[in-house]
Chain A
């Protein structure tokens, strides 16, 4: 029960990652707020530059996806961007992206919002859109420039980045969706109200009843519905708000650490929210071999998880070199201090 399968098989025909170049070490947050004594959940997080936002970053990732897919942008019939940091409250990010890549005017365009699950929700919709035959190609992007309240535990990890996926017919795909499943409840673990700059969260409530419950239910139910087990997968990636959570979720589900490490980027770029599971998946696709199976499970607060089972095809080796790899973006780094971070992220506000 709950297994999602489209009428025709679909897959990923192109993918692209993007991570801004600036890095704020967790030691900097600890130095400013905890006298250097705070426990560090990650090594460093990515920080967008002054001229970057979810629009520009989505465009970077989408261009990488197009470079790999090598399709005419006019054939893209949906441009869907999932984020919790859309620059506008009213006015779509997705129309700007669609215009910039040349997908307008005959395309769907909309922004998705479901905390850190917005990108994979767009991906589920894209699978359905292409899988029903209404479209041949649909674009799903998960991208964020997350903000943590100064001094809050989330300031250590709230990073920037994400990934774009062009969903298309299975026969053109470098990885095919074998099945997917979503698991959603009303769970108030993390939220941000209108006109507030920073989200609030329920501390430990964000763990067991939120993150672990949804990820583990979605992951285990998908595997059960498909009749597969963790050892059938070469890779697994989970939403990664810190290092501890995805590693524990993976172990709870029965995965080994070597299945998790390729997609585990949070230690080096932070939590990219709507992009976190999706950019872990691009890192895996950069290295996967034909025939490899991948399990990807997102988590969005509020709360829910989307789980996807993918099988990599022969096309991966030929197509993935068309754009920079995820690891190249991770390695491209300029370290900044807290003061520069405060300027770039507009933390200095007197009201």
Chain B
């Protein structure tokens, strides 16, 4: 095993890209990442994506995108792990370089969701749940999160408005992110009045359907400085799984996959949650942020919303989250989200996050979650400038 660093990043604006196809979005992000890495050589491309088959009638993305991006001939495959596809691709790319099977690897995440009517997108996203026991019975992803949120509120006596700071924080941070879908602030009053989607999950608890792509270039740390002035090292990379269906979970609110994944990452890095300077959580819904923070050791069980109430999740707080808008306000192009998180952590660790810069950020963590917690990828990045 050898050390691996990120030497280039790229991303498209997140939004409704009606005039750009999936391969155009992916290529835009990939070429930006390669340009940033100052290298012509690419050995492999791993591309995270969840819905290309069902929503755009296109599979075989490895060959499709590598050819379109001018990388014809390289090893290239699609990696799928529902909403965790992006970070799962990073994990595979990391393994390729760490194992010395490849020198220069491009990892990307891409998703194109807005060309289809809402009901088709909702049905497609439900494929991340248990097809036999959840999706087939009409349980959408919002509904799954509504069940979790309702249970959380019941178990811990938490009121719905206590989740508001997570949406407010995400939107506030998106204001300064030129790639964000919703670069505008929202208030506690907006949260209170937001349209109900699946009680108790309202519109501002939820991340949007959108399109986007993000990418990074990896190489061995020992040569990384030749290709980028600010390489960022991958200190830990861990995937863990849990039961795909809620009813099979040993502990409904424990998010065991996240707990295992975070514990593995901390162990690899020899770190703990107290060492992390910022955390890109998978805030597909506000409840998921809270469960992720608790499972990853940033709050005691049932105390996650207090981090929001007390301002600890803001830039300048104890554990800044969703520093560029998160899934809520930057947007959640599902298979690309994990790579957006990585790109944003790299920006923070390079000191290139502009007005949203977390001061003295050295260690950043990202957690990308597939389904309702069935696949969880935790990545810890470190600057070594």
Which residues of chain A are near B114, meaning CB under 8 Å?
A: 205
Q: Which residues of B contact A200 (CB under 8 A)?
A: 117
- Contact sample, A vs B, 10 pairs, CB 8 Å cutoff: A200-B117, A202-B117, A203-B117, A203-B118, A204-B16, A205-B16, A205-B18, A205-B114, A209-B18, A209-B19
The 3 A-B pairs at the shortest CB distance, nearest first, are namely A209-B18, A205-B18, A203-B118
Starting from the known contacts A200-B117, A202-B117, A209-B18, 7 additional A-B residue pairs (CB-CB under 8 Å) come to: A203-B117, A203-B118, A204-B16, A205-B16, A205-B18, A205-B114, A209-B19
In the complex, chain B residues whose CB is within 8 Å of the CB of A203: 117-118
Write the A199-226 contact mask toward B (1 if CB under 8 angstroms, else 0). 0101111000100000000000000000
A residues 183-211 near B (Cβ < 8 Å) are 200, 202-205, 209
Q: Please, what's the 1-or-0 string for A209-247, where 1 marks a CB less than 8 Å from any CB in chain B?
A: 100000000000000000000000000000000000000
A211 to chain B, nearest CB (A): 13
Q: List B116-137 residues whose CB lies under 8 Å from chain A.
A: 117-118
Residue of B nearest to A200 (CB): B117
Please, what's the 1-or-0 string for B1-36, where 1 marks a CB less than 8 Å from any CB in chain A? Answer: 000000000000000101100000000000000000
With CB as the reference atom, state the residue of chain A lying closest to B114.
Answer: A205
A84 and B114 alpha carbons, distance in the complex (Å): 27
Q: What is the CA–CA distance of A209 and B16 in the complex, to the nearest angstrom?
A: 11
Which residues of chain A have C-beta atoms less than 8 A from B117's C-beta? 200, 202-203
The number of residue pairs between A and B whose CB atoms lie closer than 8 Å in the complex comes to 10
Residues of B within 8 A of A205 (CB): 16, 18, 114
Closest residue of chain A to B18 (Cβ to Cβ) is A209
Restricting to A7-22, which residues have a CB under 8 Å from any CB of B? none
- CB of A288 to closest CB in B, whole Å: 38
Query: How many chain-A residues does the 8 Å CB contact rule pick out?
Result: 6
B residues near A209, Cβ cutoff 8 Å: 18-19
List the B residue with the shortest CB-CB distance to A210. Answer: B18
B contact residues vs A (CB 8 Å cutoff): 16, 18-19, 114, 117-118
A203 to B19, CA, bound (A): 16
CA distance A202 to B19 in the complex (A): 14
By a CB distance below 8 angstroms, the chain B residues around A202 are 117
Taken together as a complex, chains A and B put the C-alpha atoms of A205 and B19 apart, in Å, by 11
Residues of B within 8 A of A204 (CB): 16
Give, as a whole number of angstroms, the nearest-CB distance from A186 to chain B.
13
Could you tell me the distance in whole angstroms from the C-beta of A213 to the nearest C-beta in chain B? 10
- A311 CB, nearest partner CB in chain B, Å: 38
**Which partner residue on chain A sits nearest B118 by CB separation?**
A203
A141-192 interface (Cβ within 8 A of B): none
Expressed in whole angstroms, the minimum distance between the Cβ of B16 and any Cβ of chain A is 7
Q: Whose C-beta in chain A lies nearest to the C-beta of B116?
A: A202
Question: How many Å from the CB of A66 to the closest CB on chain B?
Answer: 44
A209–B19 alpha-carbon span in the complex (Å): 9
Specify which chain A residues have a CB less than 8 angstroms from the CB of B118 in the assembled complex. 203
Chain B: minimal CB distance from A41 (Å): 15
Q: How far is A200 from B118 in the complex, measured between Cα atoms in Å? A: 12
- Give bound CA distance, A205 to B118, whole Å: 11
**In the complex, what distance in Å separates the CA atom of A202 from the CA atom of B209?**
14
Tell me the minimal C-beta distance from B382 to chain A in angstroms: 41
Complex Cα distance A209/B114, Å?
13
Nearest B residue to A201 via CB reads B117
Q: With CB as the reference atom, state the residue of chain B lying closest to A189.
A: B18
Q: Nearest chain B CB to A43's CB is how many angstroms away?
A: 21
Chain A residues with CB under 8 Å of B16's CB are 204-205
Complex Cα gap A42–B47 (Å): 46
Give CA–CA (A233, B113) in the complex, Å.
Answer: 42
Distance to closest chain A CB from B160 (angstroms):
17
How many Å from the CB of B159 to the closest CB on chain A?
Answer: 21
Q: How far is the CB of B339 from chain A (nearest CB, A)?
A: 25
Output the residue of B18, B19, B118 with the most chain A CB within 10 A: B18
Chain B residue at minimum C-beta to C-beta distance from A202: B117
Which residue of the partner chain B has the closest CB to A204? B16
Interface string of A78-94 (1 = CB under 8 A from B): 00000000000000000
State the CA gap A209–B118 with chains docked (Å).
Answer: 17
Q: How far is the CA of A202 from the CA of B114 in the complex (A)?
A: 9
User: How far does the alpha carbon of A248 sit from the alpha carbon of B19 in the complex, in Å?
Assistant: 22
In the docked arrangement, what's the CA distance between A28 and B278, Å? 50
Instruction: State in angstroms the CA–CA spacing of A205 and B114 once bound together.
Output: 9
Q: Which residue of B lies closest to A205 (CB)?
A: B18
| Bound CA–CA A96/B128 (angstroms) | 55
A202 to B18, CA, bound (A): 11
Q: Tell me the bound Cα distance from A300 to B118 in angstroms.
A: 22
Residues of A within 8 A of B19 (CB): 209
Q: Whole-angstrom distance between the alpha carbons of A204 and B18 in the complex?
A: 10
Distance (Å) between the CB of B200 and the closest chain A CB? 16
Separation of A202 and B117 alpha carbons in the complex (Å): 6
A205, B209: Cα distance in complex, Å: 13
Across the interface, name the chain B residue whose C-beta is closest to A188. Answer: B115
In the bound complex, CA of A202 to CA of B115 (Å): 8
Contacts of B18 in A (CB 8 A): 205, 209
How many angstroms from the CA of A204 to the CA of B211 in the assembled complex? 14
CB distance from A62 to the nearest CB of B (A): 38
* Residue of chain B at shortest CB distance from A34: B195
Q: How far is the CB of A132 from chain B (nearest CB, A)?
A: 38
B98 → chain A closest CB, angstroms:
43
Minimum distance in angstroms from A189 CB to a CB of chain B: 10
A233–B245 CA distance with the chains assembled, in angstroms: 63
